[in-house]
Structure 1
Amino acid sequence: MPEKPEFSHPVPVASLEAGDAVCDEADEAALVALARRFDVPAVRALSFVAKAEPWGPGGWRVSGVVDAAFTQSCVVTLEPVDTALSEPFERFFAPPARMAEAEALFHPDAEEAPEPLAEAIDFGEIAAETAALALDPYPRKAGVDFEGALTAPPGVAPMTDEDARPFAGLAALRGRDGST
């Protein structure tokens, strides 16, 4: 049996009504657990507003917006960086027996595809997944730039990015014989 998600808000499919709003906000325990899951120093807030509409062959389309606030570590200085996001989402669910029919409604290269419809749709888990995917993988503190690191053994000049260009040697040779 799968473990219950950190931020769970399951809604039984049998009770879904077209257009009903579903919303929730993560409590302190869920925020702490989500921070561990997302490997960030803190999740300060996470909430969502969503709705479900009938879709396709007996399925549901869930759409909404997740709002979240995080503390991440700057990739340059490792200092805390507070970030916030407001990310829309859209997910499709179809009865397992009609998945092939539902999948035919999507372009083969589409990122989204229908998911098997269970007895309930977990709106909280959808919000948590959306927030995780929207996190900046390389957060930087405002005004911080990475200038690069140049290292070499003692007595050897460090190689720069410019030195590593594949045609840098040809350019140097070209300039040696006086041609342009």
Structure 2
Amino acid sequence: MGHDGLTSWGVELRLRDLSDAHAHPFRLKPTSEDLEEMAATLGLSSVKKVSFEGKMVPVGKRDWRLEGVLGATVVQPCVATLAPVTTRIDTEVTRTYLAELKEEHASEEEVEMPEDETTEPLPASLLLSAVAEEALALAAPDYPRVEGAELAVTQFTESGKEAMSDDDAKPFASLKALRDKLGKDDT
């Protein structure tokens, strides 16, 4: 980790080795190979201009809070036309890592507490790029659409029946992909 807090993409941060006397800034800039890999992992056409910066803030003697901002430009196929849709993402990322997070033996009262998805057990080492990737997956639009594109699905609705939603259409998309793949194998 350099003095300006610049960290290379795939580097693990050993939280137990960090001094708890002050916050530790980080700034991640993935290489073009990292971006290609991320796009493949997340099922995006491409990922550009990713930056993940923020700081690891000590909480007490053993716990840590990550406070960061993820910026990225993602390109996905439009759900209606398959034309590329570009989305700019700027999202705040917060995670709390607790040394004493008890998962198994919750007492009766604790069970009813709403689960906080941003709180996790303190890992021996933290892969900041994995946190960034997860945040990007959550922030990318589920149904990207080209301006003005309408899904053709709604035209096939009989009167008096409910229109098919994107979620209903999804299983068929994967079946079609499978059928196309199987069709190609025959030739």
TM-score by length of 2: 0.69
**CA 55–137 in structure 1, closer or farther in 2 if over 3 Å, else same:** same
Give RMSD over aligned pairs: 2.7
**CA 119–148 in structure 1, closer or farther in 2 if over 3 Å, else same:** closer
The question of 1:37 aligning with 2:57 is answered no
**Equivalent residue number for residue 111 of structure 1:** 116
* 1:57-136 mapped onto 2 (5 Å cutoff): 58-95=62-99, 98-100=100-102, 108-112=113-117, 114-136=119-141
CA distance, structure 1, for counterparts of residue 152 and residue 36 of structure 2:
34
CA distance, structure 2, for counterparts of residue 143 and residue 113 of structure 1:
36
Greater share of residues in helix: 2
TM-score by length of 1: 0.71
Q: 1:127-175 CA deviation, whole Å, 9 max, x = no partner?
A: 1110111110000011222364444xxxxxx613xx126xxxxxxxxxx
**Alignment-mate amino acid for residue 161 of structure 2:** A
**CA 142–150 in structure 1, closer or farther in 2 if over 3 Å, else same:** closer
Q: 1:61-81 CA deviation, whole Å, 9 max, x = no partner?
A: 111100011110101101011
Query: In the comparison of the two structures, how many residue pairs are matched?
Result: 148
Q: Tell me the CA shift for residue 57 of structure 1.
A: 6.6
Where has structure 1 moved over 3 Å in runs of 4 or more? 147-151
CA distance, structure 1, for counterparts of residue 27 and residue 140 of structure 2:
21
CA contact (8 A) 2:53 2:68 kept: yes
CA contact (8 A) 2:58 2:65 kept: yes
Structure 1 gaps of 5+ residues are 1-6, 152-157, 166-180
Equivalent position to 1:11, from 5, 10, 13 = 13
* 1:37-56 mapped onto 2 (5 Å cutoff): 37-55=41-59
The question of 1:26 aligning with 2:30 is answered yes
The question of 1:140 aligning with 2:145 is answered yes
Seq. identity, %: 24
What secondary structure sits across from 1:99 in the alignment? Answer: coil
**Equivalent residue number for residue 170 of structure 2:** none
CA contact (8 A) 1:56 1:94 kept: no
